[in-house]
A and B are shown apart, each in its own frame.
Chain A
Amino acid sequence: MTTQSLPARTDSPDRTPAARAGRPAGRRLLRQRAGRQHHAGPLAYVLLAVMAVLSIFPLYWTMVAASTDNTRVSQTPPPFLPGPNLFSNLARAWDEAAMGKAMVNSLIVAGVIALSTVMFATLAGFAFAKLRFKGRNALLMLVIGTMLVPPQLGVVPLFMMMAELGWSQQLPAVIFPTLVSAVGVFFMRQYLSEALPDELVEAGRVDGAHSLRIFWSIVLPVARPAMAVLFMITFVHAWNDFFWPFVVLDMTNPTVPVALTQLSAGYVRDQSLIMAGALLGTLPLLAMFIVFGRQIVSGIMAGAVKG
């Protein structure tokens, strides 16, 4: 991972002249602003360490439980150190919960949703940030308003719709309703209003480029850091999404979270197996967090309402 294309924390004084020329202003938006805070005392470190342990411990313990056998898990005191059975349990969970299929499904679902969300959010975000058209503000308010509509409220008709389309138990039923995101549109609009100078767009017009061409060769390069962040955040959400996939998919064709519920459904609960499954379902995202942690953190912070 290079830091080249990222919303890096360049604290260089690129504010004035260079900032108007393109990317740096956008980086400034995504960058965590440092400085002028108090220094942390020992107490702050202790409290933060406690918080970090509380955050990470359940996942660590998932790994511990997944690596022991079932009788050991059910003893008191519970095990705190990993046992020898991690890989055999993972292999069992892989078979019994159809994890292979679930992983492929989740990868397809989350990948397609993240790609399309990023693409459409960048298009719409560009229009809202830099193009002038009638009803722009009203439409933008509408976008923001849709954030307040919980998807659960429409679940019954949506289910009927999918049955009619013949998509029940099929991945398109999960993918289509989530192809776009209001949060994504808003996020890209905020980013592009700052990161994309009007002059660049106008220069493109003077050169005779049409809007799609401007989008392709001027907007996309500027938007790339924010697009990467939005992709990751959307991917995490889509991968973890539970309610709608649970309603519309069945165990023959599940996503990872849906497959996980199957593990805990039996009367005799094989705890090590359940934990192995939970670990399997979490590992891909954990890996992503370890590699792209900084980008995801700055992306969520950039999406916040300031002040």
Chain B
Amino acid sequence: MATSTTKAPARRGALLHRLDIKGAPYVFVAPFFVVFAAFSFYPLVYTSWISLHDVELATLDVMEWVAFDNYVDLWGDSRFWNALRNTITIGVISTVPQLMMALGLAHLLNYRMRASLFFRVASLVPYATSVAAAALVFTMIFERDFGMINWALGSVGIDPVDWEADKWPAQVAISTIVIWRWTGYNALLYLAAMQAIPADRYEAASLDGASRWQQFTHVTVPGIRSTIVFTIVLSTIGATQLFGEPLIFGQGPNGVTGGADNQYQTLGLLLYEEGWKNYQMGRSATVAWAMFLLLVLVFVVQRLTKRLRSRTS
């Protein structure tokens, strides 16, 4: 770093300079931490405090201490277990195909070709679409009586599917929206990582007689492993919070129940229903905590399996 150049300029200047060197970095990073502390960290911690109280939406300043009642109620509430199951199943059927397709797409985009920019931009177009718009369009495409999917199925002799009322079709339809919006985005993350793999690894592999498929599984996939882990983490967080897609698929703002039988109500929807339909903010905060625990659990399991796998190999 810069040393003070001469002793001549007044001591005040040197002091200011030292102050600047020492203090400026903190001033520069401060806005981030201040905003984060006020609007993210503090609410996060405060959630746990609220979850130990009864708080009504209409009277937010009246908090009645109920200890762990909300947690006990939630544990005994079949809607909670249903929402937890739905969150997990929709999470799996949206994340797994999404990341696998993204991997394939990235591999294709990694070829040297004409119009590569067009294909990259095209695969990113869904990312520019809001949850709201995408969910509205797909709700129509999956419509029972005149929707395009049922029409296409009908034209090959398959009976129409009631995509909204039946559990698994509804969950598949909702996952389709998620997959559509995020596959291209993940593919670009993979593509970036693939392009950072040194060429000599491929050369070595082909010298060893590896086929293109073997090169893909033995060089490409291991080469972008940290990116894959990164996208798994991101999609898991996204899946835990799933909200807009099932809400709008269930007919707009009235869709917080996640279908007539709650067949696709997620934890995100339940959180909203408890707080803003049933006016129980304390219980809503308890659902938020359940989501947090679910995330922690997923990452612990992920770490454990990773450790186990590295031990066995």
The prevalent SS among residues of B at the interface is helix
Taking A48-B109, A55-B126, A275-B137 as contacts, is the C-beta distance between A157 and B43 under 8 angstroms? Answer: yes
Within 8 A of A (CB), among B109-156: 109-113, 117-134, 136-141, 145-148, 151, 154-155
The prevalent SS among residues of A at the interface is helix
Q: How many A-B residue pairs have CB under 8 A?
A: 341
- CB < 8 Å: which of B26, B55, B140, B248 contacts A261? B248
Q: How far is the CB of B13 from chain A (nearest CB, A)?
A: 9
Contact present for B192 and A150 (CB under 8 Å): no
A124 to B29, CA, bound (A): 4
A87 close to B (CB within 8 Å): no
Residue of A nearest to B49 (CB): A157
Residue of B nearest to A239 (CB): B130
Q: Cβ of B61: which chain A residues have Cβ within 8 Å of it?
A: 164
- CB < 8 Å: which of A133, A146, A215 contacts B26? A133
- The total of chain A residues at the interface (CB under 8 A) is 116
Within 8 A of B (CB), among A252-307: 256-258, 260-265, 269, 271, 274-275, 277-279, 281-282, 285-286, 288-289, 293-294, 296-297, 300-307
Residues 175-194 of chain B: 1 if any A CB is under 8 Å from the residue's CB, otherwise 0?
Answer: 00000100011001111110
A204 to B31, CA, bound (A): 24
Contact present for B133 and A44 (CB under 8 Å): no
Contact present for B31 and A180 (CB under 8 Å): yes
Contact present for A65 and B140 (CB under 8 Å): yes
Q: Cβ of A150: which chain B residues have Cβ within 8 Å of it?
A: 237, 240-241, 291, 295
Q: Cβ of B268: which chain A residues have Cβ within 8 Å of it?
A: 152, 243
Contact present for B189 and A301 (CB under 8 Å): yes
A300 to B189, CA, bound (A): 7
B80 close to A (CB within 8 Å): no
Contact present for B148 and A78 (CB under 8 Å): yes
Q: How far is the CB of B246 from chain A (nearest CB, A)?
A: 12
A77 to B154, CA, bound (A): 10
Taking A150-B237, A242-B131 as contacts, is the C-beta distance between A76 and B188 under 8 angstroms? Answer: no
Q: How far is the CB of B111 from chain A (nearest CB, A)?
A: 4
- CB < 8 Å: which of B154, B251, B281 contacts A265? B251
B209 close to A (CB within 8 Å): no
A15 close to B (CB within 8 Å): no
Contact present for B32 and A256 (CB under 8 Å): no
Taking A153-B292, A243-B243, A275-B136 as contacts, is the C-beta distance between A205 and B1 under 8 angstroms? Answer: yes
Contact present for A44 and B108 (CB under 8 Å): yes
B170 close to A (CB within 8 Å): no
B-contacting 9-mer, from A17-25, A35-43, A220-228: A35-43
Residue of B nearest to A177 (CB): B39
Contact present for B60 and A160 (CB under 8 Å): yes
A-contacting 9-mer, from B71-79, B90-98, B271-279, B303-311: B271-279
Q: Which 9 A-B pairs have the closest CB atoms?
A: A154-B43, A205-B2, A211-B24, A40-B111, A293-B121, A301-B192, A304-B192, A177-B39, A40-B113
Can you list 10 pairs linking A and B with CB atoms under 8 Å apart? A37-B110, A51-B108, A139-B33, A149-B44, A154-B46, A261-B252, A261-B253, A304-B188, A305-B193, A305-B230
